[in-house]
Amino acid sequence: MTKPNLRTIRQTVSGATLVTLVCLCAPLHAQTDSEDLALAERTVLGWASQRHELIVRLSSRGDRMVGGVGHAFHFEATELYRGSDGAFLERFRSGAPMGPVHPLYFSAKPPEELQAILSEPGAKASRATGLLERIGAPVFSQASGLEDARHSEAHSGWSSPKGGYAITIYSIVDFEPWEHPRRGTQFKCVLRQRAVMLDSAGAKAYELQNWLIEGEPAVLRDDAVCPQASVQPSWHEQATHWALVHTVTSPRTLQRMPEVVSGDIASLASRPAVPFVRPQRALTSHLATLPEGALRSGLQALLGFDNATAEAALQKALEADAQDLQARLGLALLASRRGDVATVRQAARTLRRGTEKDPIALAQLAAMHGAHGPLAAQVRSFLDPALRQAAGFDQLVLIADWLFDSDLGAAARVLERALAMPGAEAADPNIAHALYVAALQASGHEDRALSHIGTLAAPGLLLRTHALEMALPLLGPEEGAEAVARILFENPGNCRAYFLAGRTLGRLGQAADSYRQFAAAAACDPTLAEAHYFLGDLERLRGNKSAALAHFHDFLRVAPPRRADDMRAARHAHLEPLLKRLAHQGVVLQSAECRPIAPGAILCQGFLENTLSEPATNVELRVIRGQGRRAKVLGTQVVERIEAGQTQSFGLRLELDHVRGASLEVGRNADEKAINRTTF
C-alpha cells in the first residue's frame, strides 16, 4: 500500500481544534479475500483538544472487482468496536453497489480487538488525528478517551441529541445562460449548496452557509461541466461548536480545495432563520384559548403525544376539580392509546350523560373508540349527534381534528362536509385543506388528494409538499432528490421535506446522508412518525440496537393505531416481532435475503449475532413452508459456533424456483426460532 499524502487543515475555535485530513494521493489498493478494492479518495474529519480526540466520518469511493466485473460503490455502513479504556474502532464493512447484485457483506472481515490490530506490522496510528490504517483491509478510524462517544456512534457527528440541534445539507443544480464577450451566449452549470442548523427547542432553522459554485462555460447546454463539491459537517457536543468542511474539486486539475466554516450555538442569533413549518392543527389554536394551568398543559401534551406529561398534568387537573370533564376525557383518550379497551368502555358509560349537548366532547368519545376493532361500531353513536349539533365550519374542523389520530375515514368525511359549507373557501389552506389531504393520502386515496389540491387557487407550502410526496414514486431517484432540494431551498424550515429528502437519498443508496435527513426531520417535527421509523431501521442495520429501539418506541408513541391507515398497521405488525428480536438475549437474526443464483437454485444469505457473553453452539437454520405439523422443511443448515458478542454470516442454498411464502427460522430452541422467524 502506498503511503497516503495527507494535507492537514486546522482551525481553533474556543480551545477546540478542528483537524481535517485530505488525501491527495493516487488510488490505494487493498486485497479483501477474492475481491480487489481500489480506494480513489479518503477524507477524514475530526475534532481534537487536549482531552478529547474524535474522527467523525471517513468516506471511501472507488471500484470493487467481483468476478472480473467492476462495481462502483460508496461505503456508508460502519462497525464500531470499543476498548476497555473507552477507545473505539470504526470500520466500513459494506457498500451500496450500482450494478448487478452481489454479496458485498461477505467481504467483511471478522471483528478483531483494537490492540490486536494496532500490534500488527502493517498498522500505523497518528496521535494527532486518530487515523488508523492497515495493509490488506479497508479503511479504519479510531477515537479514544471520549466521555460522550455514544453520540458519535449513534449520530456520526451530525446531530446533538442533548441540545436538540441537527445539521443538514442539500444542493441543487441549474444551467444558466452566460454572455461571453466574444463568443456570444454560452451555458454554465451552477451548483447551489446550503447548510442549515435545526434548533428543535426554538423551532427554527438557521442558515449556516450558502455556497454558489460555477462550472466552466460551454456553447451547448449539454456540454457544460458541473462542479464537484462536498460538505462534511461536524459537531463537537461538549464545546457546542459546529464546523463545515466544504471541498470543491477542480474539473481541470482535480485539485481539491477545502474551506472550513465554523461557529458555536451563540453565533446562531446573528444568522438568518425561519420558523419550522409543521402541520397546523385546529386544536392547537382551540387549546390556546383555555386558561393557563394543568388542564391546558395536559391537553397540549396529549396533542403532541407526550403521553407521560399529559397524564401527570391531567391527573393534577382532576385533583383540583374531580368533575373536570375535559381532564376525564383526556385520560380516557390516553387509555385508548394504550389499548385499554375496558377503561375506554367504562369512561364512555360514565361520561356520555354529561356530554350529550357538547359536540366537541362527543367527538373525543368517538375518537377514543375509533382505533379499536371491538369498539369501532360505536363511533357513529357519538359522531352523529356531534355533527348534528356542530355550529358551523370551525366546530366541524375541530371534530375532524380529534378524529384524525384514530379514524382517518371518519375524519375525511367530516372535513368533506365542512369544506362544502358556504365560506369554506376563505379557510386557511394549511389547516382544514391540509388535514383533509393528509387524511386522504394516509388512507390510500392519493388520487382524490391530488385532485383536491388541484382545485385550490393558491395551495400552501404544506399542500405542495404533500403533492410532491405523492408524485415521488413517479420520478427517478435523482429527479426526486432535486425536486425535494428545491422545495427546501424555498423554505429550510419545511419539516416534512427533510423526511422526503431522506427517502430520496435512500433510493440513491446514500444511507448516511439519508440518515442525516431523517434525523433533521425528527428534530424539526418530533411527531413525524415516519422519520422515527426509518431512523430506527437504519440504526438497526448499523448494529446500534439501543438507538434502534429508542426510535422504534418513539414511532409507536407518536403513531398509535388508527382505522383506514394500512401503512401504519403494516409497520405496527412489522415491529411487533422485530422489537422482541432486538431485545432478545441469545442468537439474533440481523438480516436475511434470498435471491436466485441459477435456474432452480436460490441462495439465502444474512447475518447472525450472538448477544450472549458466552459462545452459542449448534444454531439451526431452516427454511419451511406452512405452519405447525403441516410445515414442510425446504432446507436446513447448522452453524456450529458463534463466539460471544460476535456476528457471523450464513449462506443456505435451496434447490427451488422461488421462496415466496416460505419462512426462515433461526435458533437453538423453539422459542428462539419463533423470535427469529421471517417470512419471504
SS3 405: coil
**Mean pLDDT, rounded, for 285-289:** 87
Full domain range(s) for residue 672: 584-679
Distances (CA, A) of 595 to 83, 101, 211, 636, 673: 38, 9, 44, 17, 22
Rounded mean pLDDT of 386-402? 91
Pair 145, 169 in one domain: no
At position 170, the amino acid (one-letter code) is Y
Q: Residue 471: what pLDDT?
A: 93
Residue 642 backbone class (left: φ over 0; alpha: ψ -120 to 50; beta: rest):
beta
* Per-residue pLDDT reduced to its tens digit, 107-117: 323 333 334 44
Q: Looking at the structure, tell me whether residues 437 and 469 fall in a common domain.
A: yes
Question: Is 639 strand, coil or helix?
Answer: strand
Q: Is residue 1 situated within a structural domain?
A: no
Task: Report yes or no: 205 and 198 within 8 Å, Cβ to Cβ.
Answer: yes
Q: Which residue has the higher pLDDT, 540 or 25?
A: 540
Per-residue HEC secondary structure of 35-70 comes to: EEEEEEEEEEEEEECCCCEEEEEEEEEEEEEECCEE
Tally Cβ neighbours within 10 Å of residue 324: 17
Last residue of a domain, one of 125, 156, 187: 156
Within this chain, do residues 73 and 135 fall inside the same structural domain, yes or no?
A: yes
Within-domain flag for 293: yes
Which pLDDT score, from 0 to 100, does residue 257 have?
74
* Position 542 in a domain: yes
Domain boundary (551, 579, 607) is at 579
Q: Residues 441, 552: one domain?
A: yes
Whole-angstrom CA distances from 89 to 96, 289, 488 are 22, 54, 36
pLDDT at residue 28 in the model: 29
pLDDT of residue 275 exceeding 50, the answer is yes
Asked whether the predicted pLDDT for residue 262 surpasses 50, the reply is yes
Q: How many Å apart are CA 302 and CA 293, to the nearest integer? A: 14
Average pLDDT, the chain: 75
3-state SS of 283-301 is HHHHHHCCCCCHHHHHHHH
Is 655 part of a structural domain of the chain? yes
| C-alpha to C-alpha distances, 425 to 388, 412, 446, 458, nearest whole angstrom | 22, 17, 22, 11
The grid cell for 163 is 441540545
Q: Say if residue 416 is in the same domain as residue 550.
A: yes
Q: Are residues 226 and 253 in the same domain?
A: yes
Mean pLDDT along residues 173-191: 87
State how far the Cα of 256 lies from the Cα of 269, in Å rounded to an integer. 32
Q: Mean per-residue pLDDT for 212-239?
A: 78
What is the spatial distance between Cα 22 and Cα 26, in angstroms, rounded to a whole number? Answer: 12
Residues near 94 by beta carbon (within 8 Å), at least 6 away in sequence = 75, 76, 77, 104, 105, 108
Show the DSSP H helices in 238-358 as ranges: 282-288, 294-303, 307-320, 325-337, 341-355
Mean pLDDT value of segment 393-405: 92
Query: How much is the pLDDT for 646?
Result: 84
Look at residues 150, 157, 154 and name the one whose alpha carbon lies nearest to residue 58.
157
Q: Is the pLDDT of residue 121 over 50?
A: no
Q: Is residue 669 part of a domain?
A: yes
Residue 495's pLDDT is: 95
Q: Is 112 found in the same domain as 253?
A: no
pLDDT score of 236: 57
Instruction: State the total domains in the chain.
Output: 4
- For the residues of 566-625, what is the DSSP string, one character each? HHHHHHHHHHHHHHHHHH-SSEEEEEEEEEEEETTEEEEEEEEEE-SSS-EEEEEEEEEE
The closest alpha carbon to 502, from 478, 479, 520, belongs to 520
In tens, the pLDDT along 468-527 reads 999 998 888 889 999 999 999 999 999 999 999 999 988 887 877 888 899 899 989 999
- Report if residue 534 sits inside a domain: yes
Statement to judge: residues 637 and 566 lie in one domain: no
Confidence of residue 183 (pLDDT cuts 50, 70, 90): confident
Q: What is the 3-state secondary structure (H, E, C) of 153-205?
A: HHHCCCEECCCCEEEEEEEEEEEEEEEECCCEEEEEEEEEEEEEEEECCCCEE
Burial of 234 (0-12, 13-18, 19+ CB in 10 A): buried
Q: Which residues of 558-579 are buried (b: 16+ CB within 10 A; e: fewer)?
A: bbbbbbbbeebeebeeebeebb
CB 186 within 8 A of CB 218: yes
The span from the CA of 451 to the CA of 671, in Å, is: 50
Is the same domain home to 212 and 310? no
Mean pLDDT of 114-125: 43
Kindly report the backbone phi and psi dihedral angles of residue 453, in degrees, each rounded to the nearest multiple of 5, phi listed first: -60, -35
CATH of the domain at 621: 2.60.40.10
pLDDT in tens, 590-617: 878 888 888 888 888 888 889 898 999 9
**Helix count and strand count (H, E) for the chain:** 21, 26
Taking the C-alpha atoms of 290, 296, 299 and 301 in order, what is their torsion angle to the nearest 10 degrees?
130
Q: Each residue of 41-84: pLDDT tens digit?
A: 333 333 222 222 233 233 333 444 333 443 333 333 333 333 33
Please state the rounded mean pLDDT for residues 427-448: 89
Statement to judge: residues 212 and 183 lie in one domain: yes
* CB contact at 8 A, 89 and 65: no
Q: Which of 54, 49, 44 is nearest to 17 (CA)?
A: 49
For residues 565-576, average pLDDT: 91
% of the chain at pLDDT higher than 90:
35
Mean pLDDT, residues 133-160 taken together: 28
Lowest mean pLDDT among 143-147, 173-177, 622-626: 143-147
User: What pLDDT, on a 0 to 100 scale, did the predictor assign at position 499?
Assistant: 96
- Name the least confident of 223-232, 397-406, 570-579, 646-655: 223-232
Q: What is the rounded distance in angstroms from the CA atom of residue 138 to the CA atom of residue 401?
A: 53
| Residue 626 belongs to some domain of the structure | yes
Do 205 and 94 belong together in one domain? no
CATH code: domain of residue 474: 1.25.40.10
Q: Grid coordinates standing for 609?
A: 449475532
> Are both 617 and 675 inside the same structural domain?
yes
> Percent of the chain having pLDDT more than 70?
74
Better-predicted residue by pLDDT, 17 or 258:
258
Crossing angle for the helix pair 434-442 and 461-471, nearest 10 degrees? 20
Which of 156, 172, 194 corresponds to the end of one domain?
156
Q: Is the pLDDT of residue 95 over 70?
A: no
- Range of lowest pLDDT (157-166, 196-205, 454-463): 157-166
pLDDT range class, residue 124, cuts 50, 70, 90: very low
What's the pLDDT at 252? 64
